């Protein structure tokens, strides 16, 4: 299944982030069946609290396409986006958002502020959740358990 392979690529980015000591979140952006951008969290490395996987991938895709609008692009990410990332997804006009694990604490799509359901949201992507959820959740859980040990 093609979709699972895109999430597998996002999970690979998450594992690479974990290897760098970053919270293991990965993202890929797909247009016309091709991955055009990929990223993992880099907040520690870049000393940048906005360097979430989603934002880094959006920035890269916008550069590659020469446009701030990522119309007809789909974002695959391993964790439910936070409010900051949900806003960027809306501003970029991402067509579809696919995410793996829910984030009860900081998520802003199906939890918390439910950004895309707000009247002030100018663009809401189609949202599909729970894709490879167990694998993504286990990766995060293992990362934080190792940090606490």
Tokens of 28: 């890929």
Task: Give the chain's largest Cα–Cα span.
Answer: 45
Q: Is 54 part of the annotated catalytic residue set?
A: yes
Beta strands 73-79; 26-31: pairing state: antiparallel
123 annotated among ligand-binding-site residues = no
Rounded distance, CA 39 to CA 112, Å? 24
The one catalytic residue in 13, 22, 54, 80 is 54
- Is 122 annotated as contributing to ligand binding? no
| Residue 121 among known ligand-binding residues | no
Distance, CA of 131 to CA of 105 (rounded, Å): 19
Annotated binding site for Zn(2+): 52, 82, 85
Task: Report the catalytic residues.
Answer: 54
Annotated binding site: 52, 82, 85
């Amino acid at each position: 299944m093609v979709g699972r392979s895109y999430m597998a690529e996002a999970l690979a980015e998450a594992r690479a982030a974990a290897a760098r000591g970053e919270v293991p979140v990965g993202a890929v952006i797909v247009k016309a069946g091709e991955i055009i951008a990929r990223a993992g969290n880099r907040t520690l490395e870049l000393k940048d609290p906005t360097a979430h996987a989603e934002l880094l991938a959006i920035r890269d895709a916008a550069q590659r396409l020469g446009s701030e609008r990522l119309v007809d692009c789909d974002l695959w990410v391993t964790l439910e986006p936070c409010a900051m990332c949900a806003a960027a997804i809306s501003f970029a006009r991402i067509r579809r958002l696919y995410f793996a694990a829910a984030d009860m604490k900081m998520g802003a799509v199906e939890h918390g502020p439910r950004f895309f359901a707000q009247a002030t949201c100018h663009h809401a992507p189609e949202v599909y959740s729970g894709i490879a959820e167990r694998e993504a959740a286990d990766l995060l859980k293992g990362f934080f358990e190792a940090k606490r040990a």
